[in-house]
Amino acid sequence: MSTMETNMQNIVHVQLPAELPPKKEFLPGIRRAPSRGFNLTKHEAIIALKNALRYVPNELHEQLAPEFMEELKTMGRIYGYRFRPEGRIYGKPVDAYKGILEARALQVNIDNNLDFDVALYPYELVTYGETGQVCQNWMQYLLIKKYLEIMREDQTLVISSGHPLGLFPSHRNAPRVISTNGLIVGQWDNPETFKKLAAMGVSNYGQMTAGGWFYIGPQGIVHGTYITILNAGRQYLGIPEDGDLKGVVFVSSGLGGMSGAQPKAVEIAGGIGVIAEVDYSRIQTRIDQGWVSKISDDLEQIALWIDEYRRKKESVSIAYHGNIVDLLEYIDQHDVEVQLLSDQTSCHAVYEGGYTPAGISFEEGRKLIKDNPQRFKELVDASLKRHFKALKRLTDKGGHFWDYGNSFMASVFEAGEKEIAKNKRDTSEGFIWPSYVEDIMGPICFDQGFGPFRWVCLSGKDEDLRKTDRAAMACIDPTLSSLHRDNYHWIATAEQNKLVVGTKARILYSDEEGRMKIALKFNEMVRKGEIGPVIIGRDHHDVSGTDSPFRETANIYDGSRVTADMSVHCFAGNVARGMTLVVLSNGGGVGIGRASNGGFGLVLDGSERVDQIIRSALSWDVMGGVARRSWARNVNAMKTAKRWNEVNKDKGHITMPFLPPEGFVEEIVEKELDQ
């Protein structure tokens, strides 16, 4: 060993031990990620191997180098499987971990993201969304845990795409963790470059709450899906605000980590849901959870069930084990009436296994990705075009389709189907169908400050979750609006709907005032010893945290929807106000380069200090986005901002736009340009 290497060993204190852990067996029945494909040059492969070896002491390099190289060639990534802790990883009660409270709370969330019952591909650290990882490899996981165990209240751990950069001096009201995922300089911010960066071990696709360490299982999206489907029925079908979806048929695809929320959500909304899924293991997971009522691979049987439950006006969730294209074409050919249509295949990773093309099985698709990725791409493109044409025929018959922000319409366009573009040429004017944010989530929820607030009871006790449910209900006045009424109903029926998978968590759509009120109440309950500590947060899919032209900011029409200022402002503002965990990531549910998204976690320890953070940070986390939406001239956001200005006239002020009379500007522009 050289003198330099000896000196380095002497100054490294937080490191992996020099003992080689035993090789691990993969348990049967646990889903595995597909190979991501080996796409590196010899020079890049050398870098990738060196990058992985720098996590382990030098005396282990000789044995690990060939092993890591084999992982890289066969899986397209180096995961360091040998370093995964033995047995099941899950979010244990907070007192089972080492460290200060905030650090222990974050360990609960990290381990929940890797639970066999929660994660999509737990051995590859993928929590959901086909590629969304907690971190890149198991060496990073172990080092993160080591840092969290020794962290003090005046230190901040910095995470760079899953890599723990170090523990730095800060202060008590600074974040304990600042994390970023997949941030790439503009010219290189594209899927092809990212794939190489990920293979070399220098960039992580954090999705949203995977790398954001706050996934709460599919419950996290059930509520948003419930609100979306319910309001789609109200908007497109004229269902009254106090009505539900009795007799309404909703057809979509996907039963994975996020899409698996669809059957449960449509049942809660009172409708008939038919969800196609090619991977039987994902169907089995939803059956085991009680989130799917019926299953068949027989399209005729599916149609009979639709007719039966429509006549009975009863809710039911049906899993079709097969391809969504085949389902849609059957519905079209047999004139089965379907009112609502969407899609939740993982099209942000459309050529990496997120979309299985029609005509081949799930297993055949996985083999093709590894052996012949070009052929797989050709089949995907052809299938996307068939998919589009089937949807077009159904919407021509009166069905209503919306893009679920999964890059489905963008993928169809990129597959060569120009008819999906509004102008039939490019995407500058959008697509022929709306995203769910444009028509539903944006104006109804985000513009009014409503979004997916969530919490985890860190004690792991069911009784603590019941107490927080009741406390949250007491903070909601269901007479204020349909949103308040829907959310009151949601939380009132949450336990009976068996939503918990993993930690004792809950999600609830709430506005700025509601979030602060609920958080302050929870912190008071912790202070009084009525419940154990709680960590609050939100999905990144929210009012302020995400800039995404195809999704969260799809209803921004002032030309700024492709800018990323809002999400960065939100991230920086939450750092400044002392959230426990603050995260900023590239991509989210729509793919690298298509979104900038951020989130937070705040540990409620019962202190007055945390009360102050709640009042400042939770208000900012919502109203920063409302301010941007108001400036974009969104009517509901303008109303929300105006009301906030009136309530907070001694504390702050949101800049309000002046609006010219209708037609005034159009007349001037047309006159000048016509000349």
Provide the annotated binding site for NAD(+).
Answer: 207, 277, 282, 404, 589
Pairing of strands 400-401, 316-321: unpaired
Q: Determine the residue type at 385.
A: K
Helix residue ranges, H only, 22-100: 42-53, 61-75
Handedness of CA 549, 552, 555, 561 (dihedral sign): negative
- The Cα 532–Cα 13 span in angstroms is 33
Binding site, annotated residues: 207, 277, 282, 404, 589
Token pair, residue 322, equals 């097969």
The full DSSP string for 266-317 is: HHHTT-EEEEEES-HHHHHHHHHHT---EEES-HHHHHHHHHHHHHHT--EE
Residues forming beta bridges with residue 457, ordered by sequence position = 534
- The count of other CB atoms within 10 Å of the CB of residue 454 is 24
* Angle at CA of residue 237, ends 236 and 240, nearest 5°: 110
Q: Determine the residue type at 476.
A: I
- Helix 462-474 crosses helix 482-492 at what angle (to 10 degrees)? 160
Helix or strand run (H / E) with residue 665: helix 664-674
3-state secondary structure 495-543: CCCCCCCCCCEEEEEECHHHHHHHHHHHHHHHHCCCCCCEEEEECCCCC
Half-sphere exposure of 50 (CA within 13 A, CB side): 6
